[in-house]
């Protein structure tokens, strides 16, 4: 029994020594130094609005084609003859110069025969004309004397009375005359002359080739005047007017070309909902088929701002910062471009938030405290009290109360 009492007393002594030892160690432990609270200011990226007058332009893109172009087709048949200049691609001709010639010797012989027949009819009817219509004899006699078989026929003398007209018709003179004029018109189609100064862009025949009626011979263009066809969105088409100035350039070329809007198609492309606009440009350095890009001037937008499209939300509103608070503004949209939107309605100097998806209207953008420990005495006591429930600081608090 005594042995059990001794063991219990020894355990109590050890527990007492351990308890006071822990108190002594806790009393010697230094409290951690409190760092001064730091204030962190949240930085937001903004764009500052600077309103100004902006030139209103609509982008254009299209391929150019010669404004003056003719496709040459044969209206008669025959072998192509050699001409002073070859009918080949790249060969230039001046206005009125012979482009090509088709053999017409057979037609010329037939035409001379028909002229001779007309002259014979006139000479045969002159004696009767002198007796029945003496006043008209002098005119017809002079016509017969000036008649040239190798030259185009001249207009017949005018008849004075209906009886004279019937007399000539009975002699078959008017019919023969108009047959000759028709043949002369056909003969002229054996030679094709340049209607304007230009060059051959397509040649499908060579000298000696047999040509058939209706056969395509080639193409002839004026290489200094071109038409640009560009598709413009329906929303912008109404802003473009005939005569508007266009500024264009080719890819990889710094040369600028000026032109004018000449036509605007009233029909709308059902698939793309666009309208075709045509501009005319004059330049000897351009080539048919080139793609040009540029703009058409439609005036000036006053007191407006070019807003990056990424800063505008889907509903057309923009988040701005005013007095540390996020607010919503919905400006007037004047024109939508590829990367920017021209808008009006922002006060000068407005701050537009760069990342609108990260904020919402009504949010306060103001300095925030980085640490949660308040830098005051009462706060320290409250913190110590909370830590006392955990054990270490609670022992120290008991020691100071004793």
Tell whether the model's pLDDT for residue 27 goes beyond 90.
no
Q: What is the per-residue pLDDT for 389?
A: 40
- What per-residue confidence (pLDDT) applies to 394? 37
Query: What pLDDT is attached to residue 390?
Result: 40
- The share of the chain scoring above pLDDT 90, in percent, equals 51
Q: Give residue 386's pLDDT band: very low, low, confident or very high (50, 70, 90).
A: very low
Give the model's pLDDT for residue 56.
86
Q: Are the C-beta atoms of residues 24 and 192 closer than 8 Å to each other?
A: no
CA–CA gap between residue 212 and residue 193 (Å, rounded)? 19
What pLDDT, on the 0 to 100 scale, is given for residue 105? 93
Q: How would you class 310 by CB atoms within 10 Å of its CB: exposed for 0-12, middle for 13-18, buried for 19 or more?
A: exposed
Does the pLDDT at position 332 exceed 50?
yes
12's torsion region: left (phi>0), alpha (psi -120 to 50) or beta?
A: alpha
Q: What confidence category does residue 121 fall into, taking pLDDT thresholds of 50, 70 and 90?
A: very high
Range 58-66+223-301 classified under CATH 2.40.30.170: yes
Lowest mean pLDDT among 142-146, 249-253, 395-399: 395-399
Q: Is the pLDDT of residue 340 over 80?
A: yes
Residue 46's pLDDT is what?
85
Q: What local confidence, expressed as pLDDT, does residue 33 receive?
A: 60
The CATH code of the domain at 69-103+190-221 is: 2.40.50.100
CB-based burial label for 183 (10 Å; 0-12, 13-18, 19+): middle
User: What is the length of the chain?
Assistant: 402
- Cβ atoms within 10 A of the Cβ of 65, count? 15
CB neighbours of residue 282 within 10 Å: 14
| Report for 75-89, 228-242, 327-341: range of highest mean pLDDT | 75-89
Helix (H, G, I), strand (E, B) or coil at 215: coil
Token pair listed for 307: 């807003």
Is residue 372 predicted with pLDDT exceeding 70? Answer: no
> Domain map of the chain by residue range?
2-34+373-401, 58-66+223-301, 69-103+190-221, 106-188, 302-358
Q: What is the pLDDT of residues 90-112, one digit of tens each?
A: 999 999 999 999 999 999 999 99
Rounded CA separation 395/402 (Å): 11
Residue 196 scores a pLDDT above 70:
yes
DSSP H helical ranges for 226-318? 234-237
What is the separation, in whole angstroms, between the first and last Cα of the chain?
38
pTM of the model: 0.63
pLDDT for residue 188: 94
Return d(Cα 177, Cα 179) in angstroms, integer: 5
Maximum mean pLDDT: which of 44-48, 159-163, 180-184: 180-184
More confident residue, 223 or 374: 223
DSSP string for residues in 59-119: EEEEEEEESSEEEEE-SS-EEEEP-SS---TT-EE-TT-EEEEE--HHHHHHHHHHHHHHH
pLDDT in the model for residue 357: 80
Average pLDDT over residues 360-378: 53
**Could you tell me which residues are beta bridge partners of residue 380?**
none
Percent of the chain with pLDDT over 70: 83
List, edge to edge, every strand of the sheet that includes 216-221.
Answer: 69-73, 216-221, 198-203, 92-93
DSSP annotation of 157: P
Top-confidence residue, 279 or 400: 279
């Amino acid at each position: 029994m005594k042995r059990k009492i001794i063991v219990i007393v020894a355990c109590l002594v050890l527990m007492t020594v351990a308890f006071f030892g822990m108190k002594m160690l806790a009393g010697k432990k230094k409290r951690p130094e409190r760092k001064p609270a730091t204030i962190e200011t949240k930085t937001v990226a903004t764009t500052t609005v600077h309103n100004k007058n902006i030139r209103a332009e609509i982008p254009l893109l299209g391929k150019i084609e010669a404004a003056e172009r003719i496709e040459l087709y044969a209206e008669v048949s025959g072998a192509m003859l050699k001409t002073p200049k070859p009918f080949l691609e790249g060969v230039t001709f001046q206005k009125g110069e012979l482009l090509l010639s088709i053999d017409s010797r057979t037609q010329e012989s037939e035409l001379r025969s028909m002229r001779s027949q007309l002259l014979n009819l006139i000479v045969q009817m002159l004696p009767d004309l002198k007796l029945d219509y003496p006043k008209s004899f002098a005119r017809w006699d002079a016509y017969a004397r000036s008649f040239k078989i190798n030259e185009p026929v001249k207009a017949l003398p005018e008849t004075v009375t209906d009886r004279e007209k019937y007399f000539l018709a009975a002699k078959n003179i008017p019919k023969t005359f108009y047959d000759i004029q028709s043949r002369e018109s056909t003969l002229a189609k054996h030679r094709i002359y340049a209607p304007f100064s230009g060059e051959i862009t397509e040649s499908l025949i060579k000298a000696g080739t047999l040509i058939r009626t209706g056969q395509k011979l080639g193409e002839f263009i004026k290489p200094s005047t071109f038409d640009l066809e560009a598709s413009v969105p329906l929303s912008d088409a109404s802003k473009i007017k005939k005569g508007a100035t266009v500024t264009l350039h080719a890819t990889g070329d710094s040369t600028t070309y000026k032109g004018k809007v000449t036509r605007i198609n009233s029909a709308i492309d059902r698939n793309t909902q666009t309208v075709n606009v045509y501009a005319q440009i004059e330049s000897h350095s351009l080539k048919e088929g080139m793609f040009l890009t540029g703009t058409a001037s439609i005036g000036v937008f006053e007191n407006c701002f070019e807003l990056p499209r990424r800063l505008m939300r889907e509903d057309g509103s923009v988040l701005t910062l005013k007095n540390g608070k996020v607010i919503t503004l919905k400006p007037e949209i004047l024109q939508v471009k590829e990367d920017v939107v021209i808008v009006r309605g922002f006060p000068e100097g407005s701050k537009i938030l760069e990342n609108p998806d990260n904020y919402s209207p009504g949010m306060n953008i103001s300095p925030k405290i980085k640490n949660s420990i308040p830098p005051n005495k009462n706060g320290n006591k409250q913190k110590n009290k909370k830590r006392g429930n955990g054990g270490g600081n609670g022992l120290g608090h008991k020691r100071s109360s004793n």
